[in-house]
Structure 1
């Protein structure tokens, strides 16, 4: 095939243009392939994919379950980062136990981050709500260790800086 500049491409031709709408199963002309669209901006709605292909899908009940799971994961992350947990760990295996808890906490934090990267507004809101509830429960509230409380005659104690993991 002569491209006008005297170069022979050895019989190679450009692929034919895709028909409007994708054709061929929605895969841009490739039979059996399905095109999926991933949101790159925040959106509202229950039709979503969070962590796994096809889950929760368009089912409202599964979407509600996904939101509960994200809330619970954020809540548990606050517990794993609290000093209250240190008191529960056995003294004999303190180093290994702390390393195991840290590994679990970091893995769960990355999993939560991936869930938030679904760009679903509901997922973001319940993740923030889960962190807030966990903070109230384990760091500032009745069951907290007092780091976020104002004590009589002392003023506010300084909080540790927030960490992503």
Structure 2
């Protein structure tokens, strides 16, 4: 068993061409199953940021932070006017907002599943800052509007 690659029990992929013994070895992607630190990671997309350096890694972290922040903003926003006369259009907008929020949240979750420590920290920081600005009492003028938003709270 080779523990260097984190893929215990996995063999490199190979093919046999028409019964011959010719083997075609393909590069095997290493997938971390524990948190690791460093800018050499793949987040959401194949080879992104990859080995492109610290600048692309920083851009990927900013992207994940913004996704988490926007998901929190959508969770606590009031985009539909209260007393909207057309329930069908308001329900359609509400459904579209819900789908967007869920999609963003799943993208953040998939990014965290890269097991990169930096990605985990910026995802938590994005959700935290988003909640602080849009969901907490810190910036609310009155406490009656604390629970009012277009979307119900996310459930696990």
Whether these two folds match at TM > 0.5 is: yes
- Structure 2 distance, partners of 1:119, 1:44, is 9
Deviation, structure 1 residue 39: 0.3
| Secondary structure of residue in 1 paired with 2:44 | strand
Q: Which residue of the partner structure matches residue 154 of structure 2?
A: 163
**Equivalent pairs, count:** 129
- The answer to whether residue 115 in structure 2 is matched with residue 119 in structure 1 is yes
* Larger RCO, structures 1/2 (Cα 8 Å, 6+ apart): 2
Q: Judge which range, 136-145 or 34-43, deviates more.
A: 136-145
Which is strand-richer, 1 or 2? 1
| Residue segments in structure 1 that go unaligned for 5+ positions in a row | 1-25, 150-156
Distance 1:147 1:122, change over 3 A: farther
Alignment of structure 1 residues 59-70 onto 2, 5 Å: 59-70=53-64
Distance 1:103 1:145, change over 3 A: farther
Question: Computing the radius of gyration over CA atoms, which structure comes out larger, 1 or 2?
Answer: 1
Deviations, residues 122-147 of structure 1 (Å, cap 9, x unaligned): 00000000011101111123268747
- TM-score, length basis structure 1: 0.67
- TM-score, length basis structure 2: 0.71
Contact 2:13 2:25 in 1 (8 A): no
Q: Which residue of the partner structure matches residue 142 of structure 1?
A: 139
| Secondary structure of residue in 2 paired with 1:51 | coil
Q: Which residue of the partner structure matches residue 127 of structure 2?
A: 131
